[in-house]
Chains A and B, each alone.
Chain A
Amino acid sequence: MTGVSGPVRSDLFFRTLRFRPVAMHMSLRTLSLALAGLALTACAKKADTESAPPETAADVAAGPEDIDALEAQLAAREDQLRALGAPPPEMRMEAAKRAEHEDGDALAGAGDAKTKTEAQTAHGPAPSSAPTQPGTSPRRCESVCDITTSICQLRDHICDLAPRHDDEPRYQRACERATTDCEFATEACHACS
């Protein structure tokens, strides 16, 4: 590799260019075609990569016959999913429980029950207008209800600000919008579960 791009080789390159223009012309055309071909290959390679699941060291190490290996493989997959921002449902459940636990601690510590949202407290029958999904899975419901909790907590925060800013309509508007969001999400959660 060394010397390929050095001054001597460059000089030789230009001399070759000067004295063999036709050959150079041909080689440049060939190069262009080769580059285009490479680009197509790269695109094709990308398609392969996207359709195939990512491999991990656990995949390589684990044979399908060994239950321990399968478990390790599963754990690795879960890690991958978690890493990609899409934790498996079990992890989401754990995360939700974790959040609840932490929130619970916070509530116990602060003695403030206000952040307990409608999604957590209301237990009425699902309204007929609630957005339902045919074939909705419990996992999806869990996700919807987790998001509902977050939305309604944000509603609480926003609406707590509004009374302190009576003269600024944007606070009131934000509160109304957040309340609508919370109601919609709560309906969705109830319709789901």
Chain B
Amino acid sequence: MTRHTWIATLLGVVVGAGVMLAGLAQAGRLAPAPRPEVLVTLAQTVDAEHRRVDLLLKRRDYAGAIAALEQMRTVAWPEAAVAGDAAAVLRHDVYGRLVRLRLDHPEVDPKTPDALAELVGEGLGADYKAIATNAFTARLVGLRGEIAEKQGRDGDALVAYEEALDMNRALLHQALGSSP
């Protein structure tokens, strides 16, 4: 076998493997495959918890509602690799509701603005900007602004509000079927 033939063979293998990898990547096989059953289970859990919180709020049991949502923080939220970005959106919904309640009812188990900022950061996660624009993430980002204001960081508050505004603007144009 000549050197030329070897190179051709090697090239064939590399090109073949490359095409296969590209195909698999496009098919979503190499990307972390989301597991719908995990997502549905998570969604059902979150939905049940929201209903429980609804009932608690109806009874004006704010402490109970906050405790229930705090309990959700202990859930092992699945990674995007397992349940896709939708899992992060569900998390943003839960954290958004919790932070809203904590801001509106500071008398219940009071938290410092720094602790609330930490809570928002935990809920948003590091890569929330990579998630498709949605109302739940926008709300949590807006809440980050409110907390920054409480921390006396108006500059950061403005940045967060504008970020949330941008998201909502995009959502509005999406709903209207127009371009921003």
Contacts and interface: CB of A to CB of B under 8 A. Distances in A.
12 contacts: A25-B9, A32-B12, A34-B16, A80-B40, A83-B86, A102-B101, A133-B176, A147-B175, A150-B138, A151-B165, A157-B142, A158-B161
A35 B23 CA distance: 9
Interface of A: 21-22, 24-25, 28-29, 31-36, 38-43, 45-46, 49, 54-57, 76, 79-80, 82-85, 98, 101-102, 105-106, 109-110, 131, 133, 140, 143-144, 146-148, 150-151, 153-155, 157-158, 161, 164-165, 170-171, 174, 177-178, 181, 184-185, 188
**A contact patch SS:** helix
A76 B37 CA distance: 11
Interface residues of B, number: 67
A143 B21 CA distance: 41
Contacts of B36: 54-56, 80
Nearest to B24: A42
B149 interface: yes
A172 B86 CA distance: 36
Nearest to A46: B27
A133 B177 contact: yes
List the 4 closest pairs (A to B, CB-CB), nearest first. A39-B23, A32-B16, A83-B43, A106-B104
A146 B135 contact: yes
Contacts of B134: 85
Contact of A46 (B19, B28, B37): B28
Given A147-B168, A157-B161, A161-B161, 15 more contacts: A21-B5, A79-B44, A80-B39, A80-B40, A85-B85, A102-B97, A105-B57, A106-B104, A147-B172, A150-B139, A150-B142, A155-B165, A157-B157, A177-B165, A178-B165
A150 to B, nearest CB: 5
B16 A181 contact: no
A158 B158 contact: yes
A102 B57 contact: yes
B28 A36 contact: no
B27 A147 contact: no
A29 B8 CA distance: 10
B46 to A, nearest CB: 8
B169 interface: yes
B100 interface: yes
Contacts of A140: 175
A33 B138 CA distance: 48
Contacts of B19: 35-36, 39
B154 A29 contact: no
B104 A105 contact: yes
Interface in B128-178: 132, 134-136, 138-139, 142, 145-146, 149, 154, 157-158, 161-162, 164-165, 168-169, 171-172, 175-178
